């Protein structure tokens, strides 16, 4: 089985939709603020010359993500970012890339996955998250009083957790992280991304074959040996690739960027350090404030739809700007301010509708434990370089930092 044709992840966005102000890198790009001031649904031109609708209003974004007239099927529908889909409009799908599916295909696979995210499994992982976090912090302290938080903590923590969930050996995580970094790099060539994606796919083929022969108590084994579902190897590999990527890349960057944000807001850092019970609301506020998926999600209208005072025509591409929708002043007082005491708010960091993130509760656990353990076990945690020298991931689909040098007492 060879790696299938898949939609490119590249977004030919103009630079002004990605560039952040280094004086406050946590804020959305200024061009998104301008578009939001113009209208909650506005047209903009991509670098390839095509036009898309950019949704920056919170209500309008929820409407798009919940409306079945906006399709996620990037295999069958052409869009402004990638005019040629891999499949014809009536060609059957045999893949497992459920994030690029519409119901009922999406419904079938998502239902199977929900059945694997059991309460027992999530509780067991919560215990392991704390063990992994404390082990990583101990290793950092043993190495001295400074480290780069990205390779030392924010990358390995969710990577190890998702590897345990799927049954991936710890020794294989480094190769996976390297390949994923290339696959998600907006500046990498199409060839480089294709090669990285193919390597990840081959790795997951081997893992699925291993689970068929030697099942264990992990999510992937459960899917492989679900006789009612009878998933094909192609479906299993696609599902595993999707979960492995989504389960570590986003949380890893939220951990690093969230720590950076707290270090740049010492009053909020002190509040969380003094009261760890603030952890749940702190996580929700950081998710809203940072909103790291800064290039999508993307949908294609299947018919004419009235949205935010405009008509989105059938076939038009819509990009939902989560960073800007989560700063909508109509839903949050002073949305540009980081306030860990806001409590749980209905943000869109995990999406909305049928494609809402499957692993959101696990991500919340990882963020809460990771941040509170860092602050409790690394007294005096601070940046080890000027803030302007922290390298930002504006060249990646998932926003964050490439490195975060820190020191502690």
The model's pLDDT over 186-225, given as tens digits with 9 standing for 90+, comes to: 667 878 888 888 888 898 999 999 999 999 989 999 999 9
What parts of the chain have a pLDDT lower than 70?
1-11, 177, 181, 184-187
Query: Do the domain assignments include residue 300?
Result: yes
Query: Do the domain assignments include residue 20?
Result: yes
The helix or strand, by DSSP H or E, that contains position 383, with its residue range, turns out to be strand 382-383
**123-153 pLDDT per residue, tens:** 888 889 999 999 999 999 999 999 999 999 9
202 is in which domain, residue-wise? Answer: 15-407
Tokens of 312: 């989105």
- Rounded Cα gap, residues 247 and 159, in angstroms: 7
Residue 331 has a pLDDT of 92
Say how many domains are in the chain. Answer: 1
Query: Do the domain assignments include residue 204?
Result: yes
Query: Do the domain assignments include residue 4?
Result: no
Residue 213 has a pLDDT of 94
Query: Do the domain assignments include residue 9?
Result: no
Q: What angle do CA 164, 137, 405 make, to 5 degrees?
A: 110
- Rounded Cα gap, residues 91 and 100, in angstroms: 15
Q: Greatest CA separation found in the chain?
A: 62
The CATH number of residue 191's host domain is 1.10.630.10
Q: What angle do CA 248, 250, 252 make, to 5 degrees?
A: 60
Query: Do the domain assignments include residue 33?
Result: yes
Helices marked H in 214-274 = 219-224, 233-263, 266-274
Tell me the percentage of the chain whose pLDDT exceeds 70. Answer: 96
**344-385 pLDDT per residue, tens:** 789 999 999 999 998 898 999 999 999 999 999 999 999 999
Strand partners, 396: 185
Query: Do the domain assignments include residue 2?
Result: no
Query: Do the domain assignments include residue 1?
Result: no
Tokens of 31: 């061009």
Residue 379 has a pLDDT of 96
Do 26 and 263 touch, CB atoms closer than 8 A?
Answer: no
Residue 11 has a pLDDT of 58
């Amino acid at each position: 089985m060879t790696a299938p044709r898949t939609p490119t992840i590249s977004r030919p966005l103009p630079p002004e939709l990605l560039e952040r102000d280094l004086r406050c890198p946590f804020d959305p790009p200024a061009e998104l603020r301008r578009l939001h001031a113009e209208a909650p649904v506005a047209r903009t031109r991509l670098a390839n010359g095509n036009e898309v609708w950019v949704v920056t209003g919170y209500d309008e974004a929820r409407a798009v993500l919940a409306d079945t007239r906006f399709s996620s099927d990037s295999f069958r529908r052409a869009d402004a970012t990638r005019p040629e889909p891999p499949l014809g409009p009536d060609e059957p799908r045999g893949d497992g890339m459920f994030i690029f599916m519409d119901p009922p295909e999406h419904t079938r696979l998502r239902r199977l996955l929900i059945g694997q995210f059991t309460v027992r499994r999530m509780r067991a992982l919560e215990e392991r998250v704390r063990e992994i976090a404390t082990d990583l912090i101990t290793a950092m302290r043993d190495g001295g009083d400074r480290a780069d938080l990205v390779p030392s903590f924010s990358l390995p923590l969710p990577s190890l957790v998702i590897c345990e969930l799927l049954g991936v050996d710890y020794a294989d995580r480094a190769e996976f992280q390297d390949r994923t970094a290339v696959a998600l790099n907006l500046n990498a060539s199409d060839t480089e991304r294709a090669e990285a994606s193919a390597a990840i796919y081959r790795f997951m083929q081997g893992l699925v074959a291993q689970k068929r022969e030697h099942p264990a108590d992990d999510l992937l084994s459960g899917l492989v040996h679900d006789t009612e579902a009878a998933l094909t190897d192609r479906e299993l590999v696609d599902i595993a690739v999707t979960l492995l990527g989504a389960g570590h890349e986003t949380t890893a960057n939220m951990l690093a960027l969230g720590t950076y944000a707290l270090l740049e807001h010492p009053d909020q850092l002190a509040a969380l350090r003094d009261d760890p019970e603030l952890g749940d609301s702190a996580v929700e506020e950081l998710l809203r404030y940072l909103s790291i998926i800064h290039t999508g999600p993307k949908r294609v209208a299947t018919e004419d739809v009235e949205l935010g005072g405009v008509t989105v025509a059938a076939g038009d591409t819509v990009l939902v700007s989560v960073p800007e929708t989560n700063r909508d002043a109509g839903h949050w007082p002073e949305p540009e301010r980081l306030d860990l005491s806001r409590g749980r708010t209905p943000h869109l960091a995990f999406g909305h509708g049928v494609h809402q993130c499957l692993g959101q509760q696990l991500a919340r656990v990882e963020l809460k434990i990771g941040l509170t353990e860092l602050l409790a076990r690394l007294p005096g945690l601070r940046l080890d370089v000027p803030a302007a020298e922290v390298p930002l991931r504006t060249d990646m689909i998932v926003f964050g930092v490439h490195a975060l040098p820190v020191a502690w007492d």
